[in-house]
Each structure stands twice: as structure tokens, then as C-alpha cells.
Structure 1
Amino acid sequence: MSMIDVQPAASGMTMTPPPRKRRIPGWAVFTIGTVAVVLVLAMTSYLTGQPALTSSSTMQNTVTLGLPILLCGLGGIWSERSGMINIGLEGMMILGTWGAAFGGYHWGPWMAVVSGMICGALGGALHALATVTFGVNHIVSGVAINLLGAGVTKYLSTLIFQPISDNPRDSPPIEQFDTFSAPGLSDWLGDLEKDQRVIISDVAGLLRGLVTRVSPMLIIAILLVVATYLVLWRTRFGLRLRSCGENPVAAESLGVNVYFHKYMAVIASGALAGIAGAALVLGSSPSIYQEGQTANRGFIGLAAMIFGNWRPGGTLAGAGLFGYADGLRLSATPEAVHALLYSAVIVVGLLVIWQLYRRKWTSAMFAAIGAIAVYALYYFTDELPQEFLPYTPHIITLVVLALAAQRLRPPAADGMPYRRGEGD
């Protein structure tokens, strides 16, 4: 051993670890990301001449279509933070749509939400019984719940709704929530939107979509996002639940009832998926249950959860992204959807600059090739094929997950089998 090796210890000096980098708060990341998205959309709207990209009608459709995705994503957070994979969210959401139609038809829109929540929770309880108590593979049970949800609702619809609506696939219309707008603010933002000023009108249009014809479902969803964060990250119950998803054996050794917390998490997951089904029914026009109404939104909700790294704020951002893609398709022309390719070019171009700043030459090169390819597709085409438009949210889901895969960190014991007493 050389003198250099022993000198610090001999002289009484202690080696101090390098200072840790300060982590940017989650709310700051969310704010910066929101501002960046608005600027990219505003720039794209100006350069392509497509004001529908930032119109209030597009934002209203984004909220309506994004709410079910957001609520399903929150359900996924509850389940997977406890270590339980829940791809049965689609089936629980289907159960929620039928329950919402049944409760709404008999007792009004508030009971539609409650009935949808109860039906979804029943699906979650069945999934918990199969996986937690009987040890069924999570994926197998989830697939079974999806099939069961579709089959049960089809049977119940034929049994109960057909005599009323003369259609086994649809329910009779139900009463919708009364909507409200911010008095004065909505009109002022509408005037700014009509002026077509760069950035100012874009921001006004997006904000107007958030404060005009607001449904109580939006308020409920926002409260559930906040409640999910507070319960899971700021309470003892949430800490114990998350410990079950990280290391259930260690949690059990500390006195945590792992089975109880997993049951509560999966039932809450199903309840949130059921509320998502109610939001889908109440947000449609007319407000009815329809067979196949969910259109795989439960799986997109899971994708939003993964995009958000199993956290409520990130899931909100993912739901907004996927809801925007779907809302733009409904409220704008095919040319406006085509303009999203230009937004992709801008985003990838910024990614190239960032990778060059970090001196990651290979990543920058591949990103630049991708930007050139997307721009060529935009330049040499006038609009996207009509057959492509209905699948825009699904394609964006795949692209976003592929780009975000490297930074994801799921719960350590997510999907792993667990039996009581394994640590003994």
C-alpha cells in the first residue's frame, strides 16, 4: 500500500462524497413541459396556418376524451404501486359504462358516477380475488376480466336495455350534467382567440377550452389526481401500499398486512376505471351506453400511466397528450392532423440540440435522421389517409412509449407473485 492510499486516514482527514445534484421538483417539470408544448403547438399553428391546433373546441374535445384515459391511468397507478399488474382496466371500464347507464337512467347523472364506480370496483375485487388470494397470473386474470366485462355487459344490456330502447347494444339516453362557464373570462378569451395573434391567441384558445362548458366530471378528475398523490405519497397507508409494490416480503416483516393493501389497491383501481366508464358515457352525445364504447381506452390509460412513470402528474400529462390527438381528429380537418407531423419535427429538432449539448453524438445523429424522415413525410403529403386518422392516438401511444422507455422505473415487485409468509 502506498503513502497516497493511507495519507487521508493517517492525517485524520475524511473523504466527503461528491455533492448530490438537486432534483427539479415535479411541479416545475410539469409546468416547464406544459409551456413547451403550448409554444410548439403555437409555432406549428402559425407556420402551417392551422388555427384548429390551439382552438377552444379542440381543447374541449381534449378534456372530454382525455378524462376516461386519465381516470384509467390513475387506476393503474393504485394497482401497480401495490405490485399488481392490472391490464383488466379495459374490462372494468366496460363494466363502468354499463353501470353508469343503468344508474343514470333511473336516478340521474350523479348516480351514474356512483353506479359506474361500484361496477368497476366489483371487477377490481374479482381481479384481486383471483390474483392475491388464489395466485392466478396477473396477465391471465386481466385478460379474463376484459373478456368477462364485455360478455357480462352484453348480456345485461340485452336483458335490461333492449325492452326499453329496442336495441340490445345501446341504452336509452340518460340525463347529462349541467355545464358551466367562467362568466366574463370565457368571453374575453374568446375575443383574444378571434384576433389570431401569435401565441396570445393560441394560449387564449387553449385556456378558453378549459373554462367553457365545464362539466363536474372535470372537477372530479382533478380532485382524484390530487387525492391519489396525497394518499399514496403523503400518508402512512400510501407508504405501506407502495412498500408492497417494492418489496412485499420486507413490508410483511415490518407488520404490514400485504394482502389487505393489495386488495384495497386493486379495488380502488377498478373503482377509478368504473368512474372512467361513467365519464365516457356522460361525455358522449347523446349520453348513452354503447357496445364497444371504450374502444381500448383502458389500454391507452395504462400507456398514459407508464408514460407518467407511475405518478399522477405524469399520468395527467400522458392523458392530455393522447386526449389531444383524439380531440384534434374530431374537431379539425385532416390537414390539421397532418400538421402534427410538423410539431413532431420541431420536437425532434429540439431533441437533437439537447443530445448535442450532452455530447451524445450517436443519439443526436439518429434523432436528426428521424426529424428529416418526418419532415419529408410532411413535405411530400398534403394530408394523412382517412383510414389512418382513427388510429392517431394509438400510434402516438406507441411512439411516445418508445421514446420514454429509457427513463421509466416501475415498482420493483410489480407483477411478481407473492404468498403470505414467504419471508419466514
Structure 2
Amino acid sequence: MSMVEVQPGGASGMTMPAAPKRRTLPGWAIFVIGVVGVVGVLATTSYLTGEAALTSSSTMQNTVTLGMPILLAGLGGIWAERSGMINIGLEGMMILGTWGAAWGGLHGGPWVAVLSGAVFGALGGVLHAIATVTFGVNHIVSGVAINLLGAGIAKYLSTLIFAPLSSNPRDSPPIERFDTFSAQPLADWLGELEQDQRAVISDVAGLLRGLVTRVSPMLLITILLVVGTYLLLWHTRFGLRLRSCGENPVAAESLGVNVYLHKYVAVIVSGALAGIGGAALVLGSSPSIYSEGQTANRGFIGLAAMIFGNWRPGGTLAGAGLFGYADGLRLSAGPQTVHALLYAAVIAAGLVVIWQLWRRKWTTATLAAVGAVAVYALYYASDELPREFLPYTPHIITLVVLALAAQRLRPPAADGLPYRRGEGD
């Protein structure tokens, strides 16, 4: 046991044992526990409310399709903000990616659509980097300008190029989609278990079947980008240097790190990832077209997923899954099923109460209990949510989740702070 010297009351030479460090679970263990907890809450809610769509394979397929653009935008936010650059312009870069994907898809198919979306999104990243890194423009101001510019450029190019082809300046002609595949015979076996409607077993089978049925190469690309982001930023020298630019750029510069170069690379990659998210949105729609307003603020929701995930890929994946699930459930089920999410929130709040009581966090437990009672009262007093309310479900869940997660967040220390070369001399 390590010893530290202390001098209580002016005495010297006394030693006391250092406080033992609290052991924390590894990130993968926390992720697995979280997945098990979410599945358990959804399965319990489905059983008690009779809403099988909560854990159906169609809901999970919609979750994957709608969560991918959010996840890719969140990954883009991680790259930028880990280098100290706030990228509010992810929405505009995603818009550029949707237009670029449609244009590339018309000329070369889905693979060219993904590449073209990445290029157009990266161009938005270049503009943001020039404004913020080179000229020192406020990150928020530049990001808002990129959002406005991206929407304006996409609208102009759509009128110029797509209108003669589709007779509609707001939409592009349909493009070729990726072929999908299913993991057989696993998908059929899971389908049989899902139809049996057994408690928990059918719920898990439905969720898993949604992950292995009609799988698009876009999902595999997204998974590779998540793993690649984690390995590059946390297990390479380049990643260490890039993250040092977001924690203390002056210290990084004193150690020979080219801070400007790393910030440029980070913001351009951030834009490319957001552009790929736009391509995923185009290729995942039915029919596969560019449509004005298609992103529907998913770039901002991607930022929320990144913040929810504490600026790490695994947490961002969880946040994107949550927001994608809320959106997917809205499409695959009716207002009554979305209404059942209130019951799921009550169960989740009850688990939080038990956890906080075990940790002896009396105030937090009391607040969670009050919230559970309030949500249950809302659930009991209504039969379904108004249909006008449903399109905003992901946005409301975004606000609630961020409010609950705010106290445990730790952004990069120099995130958004101005930096000029040599300022630490």
C-alpha cells in the first residue's frame, strides 16, 4: 500500500495510507450492461403493455437505418471536438453529403454515392477549417454559416442539375441502392422465435433478427468507421497527438506537434463522416433520392449523441441507437406503441431509484422517484400520444437524455477555445 506524508497540526513525519483508487468497469463492460438493461426494460414493457412492436424486427431494422446517419454525424463530431474544434456545421455538411451522394449515385451507383457524399461533406469541413483554424473565426459563427451555406448550395445545385431530370427542383431522380443480404438460416430461426411470442425470448429474437435481416453494406461501412475511429484516436500516436490538441494545444505545440495540421485533418475528416451520413440517409430512403430538408436536423442530433456518449465512439453508438430507435418506432408502429415508451421510462426511472439508493444518493433517488411518478401519471391519464407529437419524439428524447447526462460529461479541456501558433511562448 502506498504511503503519503502528512503534517496534521504542524507535526511532520507522520504517514497515512493513501485512499485506495476506485475501480471502474472497462468501457466494453459498461456498454454490455447498458445493452442488457435496455433490452430488459423494453422486453418488460412489451410484456406488460402488449405492444409487441417495441421489440419487433421491423422496429430494429428502422432503428439501424435511421440511426446510421446520426451515428456517422456523431463520429464526425468526435473527430472535430477531440482536436478542440466545435463543429456546429455538421448539419450543413450532411446536407452537402446528401446532394453529393445523389449526384454521384446517378453517375456511378451506390459505392460512388458514398464516396461522393464523403467528398462533398469534406469540402464543407475544409471551409470550416479555413475559417476557424486559419482565420480564427468563432467556431459557432462559422458552423452556423456552414449550415446556411450547405442548405443554399444544395438547393441551388438541385435546381440547376436535378430539376431538368426529375421535373422537381426539390428532389433528385431515384438512384441505385445497395443490395441487401440476410444471415441464413439464423434469420429464419430468429423469425420463428419472434412469432412464438414468448416472454423475453421472442423480444430478444426480434431485436437480433432486425440486425441480421436485410443488412446493407452501408451498415458494415458504418461499423468499420466506428472501430476505425476508436483505434485511430485512442491507440495510435496520431490519435494521441490529435487529442492533445483538444486538451492543451500550447503544451502539444511545445512538444513538436503541428497543431494546425491536426486540427485541419480532424475537421476535414469530420465533414467527410457527416457527408457519408448524408449518403446513408439517401441510400436508406425509399425511393433512394435526395430530397430538400431530408436531414431533418439529424446533424444536430448527431452532436447530441456525441455529447451523450461523452465524446467517445462507444457512447456515441449508444446515443445514436437511442435516438434512431425513437424515430424507427414512430415509423413502424402507431401512437399507442410510442405511448408505451412512457411506461418504459417509468421502469427505467425505477431502476435508477434503486441504483441511487444503493449508492446512498438520496437527493438523486428522490428526484428520480418524483420523475417516475410524474411520467406514470401522464401514461395513466392518456391512451395514446397525439399524432402531431410523434415527429418530434426523437428531438424531445434528445433534450431529456442530455439533461439527465449533463453532470457526468467531460468535454475536451480546450474544446472551442481560440488558439494561435506561438501564443504559449
For the criterion TM > 0.5, the same-fold answer is yes
Please give the secondary structure, in 2, of the residue aligned with 1:370.
helix
The answer to whether residue 385 in structure 2 is matched with residue 396 in structure 1 is no
- 2:330 is aligned to 329
Q: Return the letter of the residue paired with 2:405.
A: A
Deviation at 1:367, TM superposition (A): 1.4
Distance 1:287 1:73 in 2: 23
Encode CA deviations 1:107-133: one digit per residue, 9 max, x unaligned.
Answer: 000000000000000000100000000
Matched ranges for 1:142-157 at <5 A:
142-157=143-158
- 1:236 is aligned to 237
- 2:301 is aligned to 300
Encode CA deviations 1:262-302: one digit per residue, 9 max, x unaligned.
Answer: 00000000000000000000000000000000000000000
Deviation at 1:361, TM superposition (A): 2.0
- 2:290 is aligned to 289
Distance 2:7 2:372 in 1: 55
- 2:383 is aligned to 382
Distance 1:306 1:6 in 2: 46
- 1:200 is aligned to 201
- 1:411 is aligned to 412
Please give the secondary structure, in 2, of the residue aligned with 1:181.
coil
Please give the secondary structure, in 2, of the residue aligned with 1:422.
coil
Deviation at 1:15, TM superposition (A): 3.8
Matched ranges for 1:153-164 at <5 A:
153-164=154-165
Q: Return the letter of the residue paired with 1:93.
A: M
Deviation at 1:360, TM superposition (A): 2.2
- 1:264 is aligned to 265
Identity %: 82
- 2:94 is aligned to 93
* Structure 1 vs Structure 2 CA RMSD: 1.3
Q: Return the letter of the residue paired with 1:163.
A: P
Distance 2:52 2:372 in 1: 23
- 2:20 is aligned to 19
Distance 1:225 1:46 in 2: 33
- 2:213 is aligned to 212
Distance 1:158 1:198 in 2: 53
Deviation at 1:5, TM superposition (A): 6.4
- 1:359 is aligned to 360
Encode CA deviations 1:10-65: one digit per residue, 9 max, x unaligned.
Answer: xxx75442221222100000000000000000000000000000000000000000
Deviation at 1:391, TM superposition (A): 0.1
- 1:318 is aligned to 319
Distance 1:155 1:204 in 2: 46
- 2:255 is aligned to 254
Distance 1:293 1:36 in 2: 33
Deviation at 1:365, TM superposition (A): 1.7
Q: Return the letter of the residue paired with 1:50.
A: E
Q: Return the letter of the residue paired with 2:279.
A: A
Distance 1:142 1:384 in 2: 35
- 2:117 is aligned to 116
Please give the secondary structure, in 2, of the residue aligned with 1:387.
helix
Deviation at 1:6, TM superposition (A): 8.2
Deviation at 1:8, TM superposition (A): 7.5
Deviation at 1:358, TM superposition (A): 2.0
Q: Return the letter of the residue paired with 2:332.
A: S
Distance 2:166 2:286 in 1: 16
Q: Return the letter of the residue paired with 1:128.
A: A
The answer to whether residue 161 in structure 2 is matched with residue 175 in structure 1 is no
Deviation at 1:318, TM superposition (A): 0.1
Deviation at 1:104, TM superposition (A): 0.3
Q: Which moved more, 1:345-354 or 1:249-258?
A: 345-354
Deviation at 1:69, TM superposition (A): 0.1
Distance 1:99 1:176 in 2: 15
Please give the secondary structure, in 1, of the residue aligned with 2:263.
helix
Distance 2:262 2:18 in 1: 38
Q: Which moved more, 1:355-364 or 1:151-160?
A: 355-364
Please give the secondary structure, in 1, of the residue aligned with 2:250.
helix
Deviation at 1:234, TM superposition (A): 0.2
Distance 1:378 1:166 in 2: 46
- TM-score of the superposition, structure 2-length normalised? 0.97
- 1:58 is aligned to 59
Deviation at 1:4, TM superposition (A): 7.8
Deviation at 1:85, TM superposition (A): 0.1
Distance 1:95 1:114 in 2: 12
- 1:349 is aligned to 350
- TM-score of the superposition, structure 1-length normalised? 0.97
Distance 1:80 1:416 in 2: 11
Distance 1:75 1:406 in 2: 23
| Alignment coverage as a number of residue pairs | 420
Distance 1:323 1:202 in 2: 18
Distance 2:31 2:353 in 1: 21
Q: Return the letter of the residue paired with 1:113.
A: V
Deviation at 1:3, TM superposition (A): 10
Q: Return the letter of the residue paired with 1:21.
A: R
